[in-house]
Amino acid sequence: MEELLSIMQKLRSPKGCPWDREQNFNSLLPYLLEESYEYIDAVQSGNVKLMVEELGDVLLQVVFHAQIAKEEGKFTIDDVIKAICEKMIRRHPHVFGDENLGTSAEVLKKWEEIKNSEKEGKPKSAMDKVPHSMVALSRAQELSRRAAKVGFDWSNPEPVLEKVKEEIAEFESEKNGSLEAEEEFGDILFALVNLARHKGINAETALARANAKFEKRFRQVEILAGGNPQNFTLEELDKFWNEAKNLTKSN
């Protein structure tokens, strides 16, 4: 860790890297997001070596931000580490204190109680801690999760599924391409995300897996089509797709 901090300090020095010296908190944000997604890909691939590499890239972003903050007199990496250590100890009284919490549900309940006590004097909305910068699918799941925590939720998935069907019917009644159709389509997505939460599924991860599956199968379709899928009819491509499904299932 000391070596990494030393490397970053040198990169940001007058004799360091011109690109690194030009960066600021805002310019680095896309890289923090990109590196996080690449780590997610590595985890889902099961490639341990790649996980190590990508997690290192995430850590580099943390160190990069901390170095900029140190230069501007805002905070240091020590402040960051101290803050998270204090938070973990404070929010785990059953581990570092005398509380007796025997189940995950009790732990989560206590966690929220402690979080709420830390927000004294601040806005109390259940939505306050949902970042606007989150990707829409993840944000939808977090919004519905936080609403559920204060009782605004169904007790089982069945009515949520009915809500999905209701939103689809409303979407079908709107004119193609209209703002109303877009709004109703958004309602379908939100209802589906809520259904995923009820089923214990992370909607963002589920869609990422679906994207990866589609990409893998379509690449196989392109191979079966000799690299020229545009020269085939939809019916022929559909046959290739079914063949690709069988091939990718076995891989």
The two structure tokens encoding residue 127: 């939505």
The ranges assigned to domains in the chain are 2-88, 91-118, 136-201, 205-249
- Using the structure block, give the residue that is written with the tokens 């890909």: 41
Burial class (CB in 10 A: 0-12, 13-18, 19+), 203: buried
Give DSSP secondary structure letters for 167-185.
HHHHHHTSPTT-HHHHHHH
pLDDT value of residue 120: 64
Closest by CA to 242, choosing from 217, 206, 212, 209, is: 217
Nearest to 29 by CA among 134, 127, 143, 128: 134
DSSP 62-96: HHHHHHHHHHTTS--HHHHHHHHHHHHHHT-HHHH
Euclidean distance between CA atoms 9 and 7, whole angstroms: 5
On the question of a common fold for 2-88 and 136-201, the answer reads yes
Walk along the chain (251 residues) and give the pLDDT tens digit of each residue. 999 999 999 999 999 999 999 999 999 998 998 999 899 889 988 999 999 999 999 999 999 999 999 999 999 999 999 999 999 999 999 999 988 888 988 888 888 888 878 776 665 787 887 888 888 898 999 999 989 988 889 999 999 999 999 999 999 999 998 999 999 999 999 999 999 999 999 998 899 889 888 999 999 999 999 999 999 999 999 999 999 988 877 55
| In contact, 228 and 186? CB cutoff 8 Å | no
Model-level pTM greater than 0.75?
Answer: no
DSSP 8-state symbol, 175: P
> By the 8 A CB rule, do 64 and 28 touch?
yes
- CATH second-level architecture of 2-88? Orthogonal Bundle (1.10)
In contact, 137 and 191? CB cutoff 8 Å: no
Measured CA distances, 176 to 170, 189, 192 (Å): 12, 17, 21
CATH tag for 136-201 (out of 1.10.3720.10, 2.30.30.60, 1.10.287.1080, 2.40.110.10): 1.10.287.1080
Put residue 70 in one of left, alpha, beta given phi > 0 → left and psi -120 to 50 → alpha. alpha
